[in-house]
A = this chain, B = another copy of it.
Amino acid sequence: MEHDLVTVTIALNAWHDRVARVQQLLTTFSDEQLLREVAPGKNRGIYLVGHLVAYHDALCTILDLGPRLHPELDSAFLQQPDKSGMPMPTLIELKQYWTEVHERLARDFQQLPVSGWFARHMAVSEADFQQQPHRNKLSVLLNRTNHLVYHTGQLMLLK
């Protein structure tokens, strides 16, 4: 049990640290920077920000934390690539959603007991989880942290 607490601490620290780094980037980038492509012909900063907000908002579903805050973002930022012509929120709105979504997750993560992270996530059935106990909520958190870091490497190129 002590190891469980240690593991969850490591995973949550990494998540919060990586979220904070991008939040810091968002305060330093100008709108003009965020509207640029990270490399010629690739995604724009604004798309990656919206993509991360939508993807993290969807954590509520797979981690069983209750209703999502911004499901309306999926069409422009998850179901379509950048420059699809789908309407997007403004950068001011997106930054506000970023804060809302991550503050909500931080609260819910704090309330989840350590044992809850070793329980199944909502995209795996009870029966499958018996056979595949690594498909737990902790694995989702670690995976989403990796996804966040992947796109952070790209956002950093806007510097």
Contacts and interface: CB of A to CB of B under 8 A. Distances in A.
Interface stretch (A80-88, A102-110, A141-149): A141-149
A142 B147 CA distance: 13
B42 A157 contact: yes
A157 B39 contact: yes
| Complex copy number for this chain | 2
Report the contact-size class of chain A (Cβ under 8 Å from the partner). Answer: 20 to 34
Contacts of A145: 146
Given A9-B134, A11-B142, A14-B143, 7 more contacts: A6-B136, A10-B142, A142-B142, A149-B149, A150-B150, A154-B157, A157-B157
Interface in A34-61: 38-40, 42
Taking chain A's interface residues, is the majority helix, strand, or loop, or is none over half, making it mixed?
helix
Contacts of A71: none
A7 B142 CA distance: 10
Contact of A4 (B3, B40, B143): B3
A23 interface: no
A139 interface: yes
Given A14-B143, A118-B6, A142-B10, A152 B154 contact: no
A118 B5 CA distance: 12
Nearest to A42: B157
